[in-house]
Chain A
């Protein structure tokens, strides 16, 4: 292991960004997990020094450009998420898959709460309960996403 898997990290983040903003039919778009958040979470836990909080911040900024009324809200929320993940990465890494999913669910709820609060403060409130569905699907998708990312990570090493 001569270096951190930066290339794989950036590549998977780009793929995840594309998956996150890919236009889908309405019903699929509503249950689509935030792949980019999951990917950033994975890299923060698996390889906290490769990207760290910078990865979260800049991924969030890209998300802001694509789907945010105010620049910086995803950046802030994703910075918080990566910070928590980087701090607790050893504890999270040692947990079994199911418990990891639960942790991811909690993190995603916190993430969406931050967005919800900022949306409210900046007068773009979206109060539909549908905005929370991605937290649940994100928790469900965590295991497969982590498995796929593990594969890329292993091959790089």
Chain B
């Protein structure tokens, strides 16, 4: 008998009808999942269902590891112990020095109480399942909401930044590694303070820095740290080391490759970290960030208002302090010219008392700036904007900060080029 409506109607409609139902269901699921957190509960339930399979999948390697560990010889254990003791001593020595430094730093900052470390507590989690291929770089760890793990939590190993949690189940959490092609982490070059974005490449030994202009001050051996922007990772954690800088005369952007410090492919244990809110180095979240709280007059603004020339010369009070800060950041970010250089540049037609203000606050003012500034200024803007949008981070940074710094880093470079 032909497989038609007659045969299948016993189980609820023709295949065409049932297909339509399921297809619509899938599309609704996709839409809801894409649009936001409507499906967190369903995902949570599905994670519970999937966890036994994931455990089962990882059992062969777990068993092999257990066998290896149980047949380890006494000599090997002793050597291991020796190594760990030495390492521990080294670390203790270093931490002694660290406390002295922290104290000194506090004095320099003029704080009354010593700042506690930004990491409030951490939890060691075991890697249950790994997916490391060029399309997806994820690991599954055996801690979930029952242990207080939340979505978008930073994950480290003993050498550096590893990734962040994406989907959290009751007993497990999926971690997207910083080398996943879909992941981007806001970083800062330690030597120069230049901020950029490190994007995963799908290779555990490689990160790309695709948004650095060809004239950016970056060289092989530079250490990348988290910049604290982006709302997920705190500032100052090591990410990787630049190993390859390729500048092409034709390309406006340099091609920079870095190696992550964290050993993605051999880690068995990772650390989930909770950070102190309100700590200067803590990640800025949308809820607690400076953008919402604090004095709004002191905040950098995405589109700086165009002050009238008369007003600009007349009131050097608050904008001046803001601009000095901005100019300092600009000089630091670009690495090259000091604010003085920017001030000495011919095209700055600003009044003498505060030339730096012009450079930072009105970079897109066509009448004031030279045409080359117009050409240069927009370029680094995509450097900050699209990856921030594409990065799978729950809380985007206050866009105003990024925009200002991007522009600030561009301006002195542009003006310095003119002579």
Contact = CB atoms under 8 A, between A and B. Distances in A.
Interface in B30-49: 30, 33-34, 39, 42-43, 46-47, 49
A130 B135 contact: yes
Interface in A10-29: 14, 17-18, 21-23, 26, 29
B314 interface: no
Interface stretch (A55-63, A103-111, A138-146, A148-156): A55-63
B276 to A, nearest CB: 31
B39 A71 contact: yes
A72 B15 contact: no
Given A18-B57, A71-B30, A123-B390, A131 B19 contact: no
19 contacts: A21-B57, A29-B133, A30-B134, A49-B7, A57-B26, A62-B46, A65-B49, A67-B136, A70-B30, A71-B30, A72-B27, A75-B26, A76-B26, A80-B19, A83-B15, A83-B16, A90-B3, A128-B134, A131-B135
Interface residues of B, number: 44
Interface in B148-185: 181-182
Interface of B: 2-3, 7-8, 11, 15-16, 18-19, 22-23, 25-30, 33-34, 39, 42-43, 46-47, 49-50, 53-54, 56-58, 61, 129-136, 181-182, 202, 390
| Residue in B2, B11, B47, B53 with the greatest tally of chain A CB atoms within 10 Å | B53
B2 to A, nearest CB: 8
Contacts of B181: 126, 128
Contact of A53 (B3, B18, B135, B136): B18
Contacts of B22: 53-54, 56-57, 75, 79
A52 B11 contact: yes
A21 B55 CA distance: 11
Contacts of A118: 30
Contact of B56 (A18, A29, A122, A123): A18
Contacts of B133: 26, 29-30, 130
Contacts of B28: 72
A23 B27 contact: no
Contact of B131 (A17, A23, A82): A23
Contacts of A62: 46, 49-50, 53
B29 A86 contact: no
B385 to A, nearest CB: 14
Interface residues on A, range: 35 or more
A118 B33 CA distance: 13
B183 to A, nearest CB: 11
Q: Is the interface of A mostly helix, strand, loop or mixed?
A: helix
A69 interface: yes
Contacts of A86: 3, 15
Given A23-B129, A62-B53, A70-B30, 8 more contacts: A26-B134, A65-B47, A72-B29, A75-B26, A76-B30, A82-B19, A130-B133, A131-B135
B141 to A, nearest CB: 14
A124 interface: yes
A8 to B, nearest CB: 18
Interface of A: 14, 17-18, 21-23, 26, 29-30, 48-49, 52-54, 56-57, 60-62, 65-67, 69-73, 75-76, 79-80, 82-83, 86-87, 89-90, 118, 122-124, 126, 128, 130-131
A134 B371 CA distance: 52
A12 B33 CA distance: 29
Nearest to A20: B57
B50 A65 contact: yes
A8 B19 CA distance: 23
B126 to A, nearest CB: 14
A76 to B, nearest CB: 4
Nearest to B43: A71
A22 B61 CA distance: 10
A71 B42 contact: yes
Given A17-B53, A23-B57, A49-B8, A87 B30 contact: no
A29 B33 CA distance: 27
A153 to B, nearest CB: 17
Given A61-B46, A71-B39, A86-B15, A14 B26 contact: no
B11 A73 contact: no
Given A18-B56, A30-B134, A54-B18, A71 B61 contact: no
